[in-house]
């Protein structure tokens, strides 16, 4: 005892609530009892141990020759959600007197039951150190939340698997107070199989039953979906009846919904069916023998995915109650079923098989490790537990004026040629921008968007910008309510029925808005540009394609099919050139950047593009800018091409994709050839 600085025995209180947790706690209790020079043991019994309907399982504690210091009746009957809450409240009322009387140095609490949460809460508030067994594991139902809540209250942790240990560390628990010991029940399991088992099988299932020719069924309600779990239980019983093998059915635990499950058993006559034996409780050592030599175990008990693996017995795990547990190859999962057929097929697949024994949850030496860990606890150390939070980047300014200045958004502009991402301030100023070519395939494109956004978000932290959300401007027809690109022209390939919102929101944990680039342009003009203060206006954008946006009575108009302002796809000539939308003679087919590039290439191939004072380097592709330059230098054919299709809108006329404003006297808020993030606008036209 000199090692830990304690000059007296360590007074340990072990509190057990039900038959399941006692199977894990009993090996520790036996170990403590064998070392009286180091420990004093107090045993508190509460919960379903003391209820006749659940087998009065406190008797097995007495049969194991443990003195029960305190019996607490804490269960409020009703077997529904309210009864569980009331039971926790009743335990919280009764426990303080017990703990004041016993004054333990440390309380050992197991698992994830609601009774255990009451124990941990009481001990923590009364400044009693808590050792939590089996923390860090993952399963389904409310048990996960309760288990992790107990973890945060506990001072010391004994976990069973390497993954559970890593989960505890991820939850900011002190690594020095975590012991990877394995499951205490495995200390019994791995030495149990050679005992006389046939007498136990005959006692519970009948004299005519052979080894590996029966089933053990143990199914509990799922507290977060009681109705569905009862339906699954009903289908399980139907499948077992059809399978026609002798079956030992254990009654469910006391969770909300158990009463309805018992009603299902009685409705189907399970207690009187010749193939079934229905029991409230089997002593753990006998239960070990029964599952070790069963042809199969079925249900949703943690025992099936944990302890039974030590024997290689086939297991059928039903539903979601153990969905996150680590399992061996002996476990076959049936997550959901509408009829008994899927469960019946699983029985045919699993029954009678023998799998390799699994030691995922222990090697049979957990108790010696736990006792050594208990002896190392220094009662002179401060009681207040410390959390090991990951390091936080320092020197980030928290001045309120600075924060307000750098509230920002990520802007994503996905056009026919380029993919751009920018950090944009609330004032509409571009803090930093990133540009890449838009990939040709969906997979490459979505991966690049995610990569660029993640990099921009990381850079925003360094720039002291708080990203509030993500806005995506994309070509194509967009449903902004769902964040889905419904359809795109050939300018953006593989861009139909694409959910943009979900992957970005899941990756960045930020709200995401998606809309057509023309609509984004109109919104940008209304907020920052020439549309500011105007009630009604139209915005026209030109780039690789042509689009637009309509603001009517200060609101953006999408249209019933989300293409109200597809101005580039207004047909101006039925005999015109092919358009990327599949039609002919659209404005975009004449005046877009891609259309002008097409015409420029034709002239260049015919040696009709270049004029005096003009050249095109060999490594440079011919494009719309060369056509415009040739027109300015007097090339008549280039000028003729640029005049095709005018006028484009009231009060203006187009020279290719260059707009010259007339009538309103206003100039565009940005250069006609300057790329703009999320807002590819080139001009705004008031509606007269």
Residues annotated as binding site for Zn(2+)?
Answer: 569, 579, 581, 586
Distance (Å, rounded) from C-alpha 236 to C-alpha 251?
14
Cα 651 to chain centroid distance, Å, stands at 53
3-state secondary structure of 452: helix
> What is the DSSP code (8-state) at residue 209?
P
* Beta-strand relationship, 331-334 and 315-318: parallel
Strand partners, 542: 546
Structure tokens at 331: 């476990």
Q: Are 470 and 410 in contact (CB under 8 A)?
A: yes
Q: Are 76 and 86 in contact (CB under 8 A)?
A: yes
H/E run at residue 414: strand 407-414
∠226-324-347 over CA atoms, to 5°? Answer: 70
∠684-687-688 over CA atoms, to 5°? Answer: 130
Distance (Å, rounded) from C-alpha 631 to C-alpha 657?
13
Rg (CA), the chain: 36
Strand partners, 484: 479, 499
Catalytic entry in 517, 575, 578, 619: 517
Go through 195-205 and write b for each residue having 16 or more CB atoms within 10 A of its CB, e for each that does not: eebeebbeebb
Structure tokens at 273: 């069916």
Q: What are phi and psi of 11, to 5 degrees?
A: -90, 110
* Beta-strand relationship, 555-556 and 418-425: unpaired
Distance (Å, rounded) from C-alpha 348 to C-alpha 214?
13
* Beta-strand relationship, 129-133 and 106-110: parallel
Q: What are phi and psi of 318, to 5 degrees?
A: -105, 135
Is 607 a catalytic site residue? no
Distance (Å, rounded) from C-alpha 534 to C-alpha 550?
12
* Binding residue ranges: 477, 489, 517, 566, 569, 579, 581, 586, 588
H/E run at residue 637: helix 636-643
Neighbour count for residue 571 (Cβ, 10 Å)? 14
Distance (Å, rounded) from C-alpha 375 to C-alpha 106?
11
655 exposed, middle or buried (CB, 10 Å; 0-12, 13-18, 19+)?
Answer: middle
Distance (Å, rounded) from C-alpha 621 to C-alpha 626?
10
User: CA–CA distance from 107 to each of 154, 309, 448, 544, 633 (Å)?
Assistant: 9, 29, 53, 71, 91
User: CA–CA distance from 30 to each of 33, 43, 188 (Å)?
Assistant: 5, 12, 11
Which among 219, 215, 214 is positioned nearest to 318, based on CA atoms?
Answer: 219
* Binding residue ranges for an N-acyl-D-mannosamine: 477, 489, 517, 566, 588
**Half-sphere exposure of residue 97, counting CA atoms within 13 Å on the CB side?**
8
Helix 143-153 × helix 114-125 angle, to 10°: 20
H/E run at residue 344: helix 341-350
- The structure tokens 């994309």 sit at 474
Positions annotated as catalytic residues are: 517
């Amino acid at each position: 005892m000199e090692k830990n600085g304690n000059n007296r025995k360590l007074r340990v209180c072990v509190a057990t609530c039900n038959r399941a947790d006692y199977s894990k706690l009993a090996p520790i209790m036996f170990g403590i009892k064998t070392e009286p020079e180091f420990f004093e043991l107090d045993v508190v019994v509460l919960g379903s141990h003391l209820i006749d309907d659940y087998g009065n399982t406190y008797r097995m504690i007495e049969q194991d020759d443990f003195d029960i210091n305190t019996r607490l009746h804490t269960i409020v009957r009703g077997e529904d959600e309210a009864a569980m809450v009331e039971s926790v409240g009743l335990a919280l009322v009764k426990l303080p007197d017990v703990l004041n009387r016993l004054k333990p140095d440390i309380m050992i609490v197991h698992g994830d039951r609601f009774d255990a949460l009451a124990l941990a809460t009481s001990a923590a508030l009364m400044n009693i150190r808590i050792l939590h067994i089996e923390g860090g594991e993952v399963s389904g139902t409310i048990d996960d939340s309760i288990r992790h809540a107990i973890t945060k209250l506990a001072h010391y942790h004994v976990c069973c698997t390497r993954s559970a240990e890593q989960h505890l560390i991820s939850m900011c628990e002190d690594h020095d107070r975590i012991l990877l010991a394995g499951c205490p029940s495995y200390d019994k399991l791995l030495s149990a199989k050679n005992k006389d088992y046939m007498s136990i099988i005959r006692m519970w299932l009948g004299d005519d039953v052979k080894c590996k020719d029966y089933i053990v069924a143990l199914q509990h309600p799922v507290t977060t979906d009681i109705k569905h779990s009862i339906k699954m239980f009903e289908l399980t019983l139907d499948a077992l009846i059809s399978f026609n093998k002798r079956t030992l059915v254990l009654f469910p635990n006391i969770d909300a919904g158990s009463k309805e499950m018992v009603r299902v058993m009685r409705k189907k006559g399970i207690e009187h069916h010749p193939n079934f034996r229905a029991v409230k409780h089997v002593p753990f050592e006998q239960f070990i023998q029964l599952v070790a030599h069963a042809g199969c175990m079925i249900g949703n008990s943690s025992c099936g995915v944990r302890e039974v693996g030590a024997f290689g017995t086939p297991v059928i795990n039903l539903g979601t109650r153990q969905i996150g547990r680590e399992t061996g190859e002996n476990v076959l999962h049936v997550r959901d079923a509408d009829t008994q057929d899927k469960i019946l097929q699983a029985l045919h697949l699993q029954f009678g098989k023998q799998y390799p024994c699994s030691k995922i949850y222990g090697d049979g030496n957990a108790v010696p490790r736990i006792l050594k860990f208990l002896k190392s606890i220094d009662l002179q150390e401060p009681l207040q537990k410390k959390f090991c939070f990951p390091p936080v980047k320092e020197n980030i300014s928290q001045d309120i004026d600075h924060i307000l200045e750098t509230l920002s958004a990520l802007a994503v502009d996905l056009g026919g040629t380029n993919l751009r991402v920018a950090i944009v301030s609330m004032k509409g100023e571009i803090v930093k921008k990133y540009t890449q070519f838009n990939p040709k395939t969906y997979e490459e494109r979505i991966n690049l968007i995610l990569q660029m956004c993640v990099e921009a978000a990381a850079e925003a932290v360094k720039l002291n910008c708080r990203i509030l959300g993500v806005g995506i401007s994309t070509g194509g027809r967009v449903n902004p309510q769902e964040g889905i690109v419904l359809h795109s022209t050939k300018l953006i390939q593989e861009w139909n029925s694409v959910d943009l919102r979900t992957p970005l929101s899941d990756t960045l944990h930020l709200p995401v808005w998606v809309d057509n680039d023309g609509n984004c342009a109109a919104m940008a003009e209304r907020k920052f540009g020439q549309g500011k203060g105007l009630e009604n206006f139209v915005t026209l954008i030109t780039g690789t394609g042509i689009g637009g946006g309509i603001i009517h009575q200060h609101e953006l108009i999408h249209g019933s099919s989300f293409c109200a302002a597809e101005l580039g796809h207004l047909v101006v000539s039925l005999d015109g050139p092919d358009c990327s939308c599949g039609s002919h003679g659209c404005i975009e087919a004449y005046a877009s950047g891609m259309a002008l590039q097409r015409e420029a290439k034709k002239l260049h191939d015919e040696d009709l593009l270049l004029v005096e004072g003009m050249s095109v380097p060999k490594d440079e592709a011919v494009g719309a800018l060369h056509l415009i330059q040739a027109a300015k230098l007097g090339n008549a054919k280039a000028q003729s091409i640029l005049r095709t299709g005018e006028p484009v809108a009231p009060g203006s006329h187009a020279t290719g994709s260059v707009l010259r404003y007339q009538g309103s006297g206003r100039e565009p808020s940005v250069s006609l050839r300057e790329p703009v993030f999320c807002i590819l606008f080139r001009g705004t036209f008031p509606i007269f």
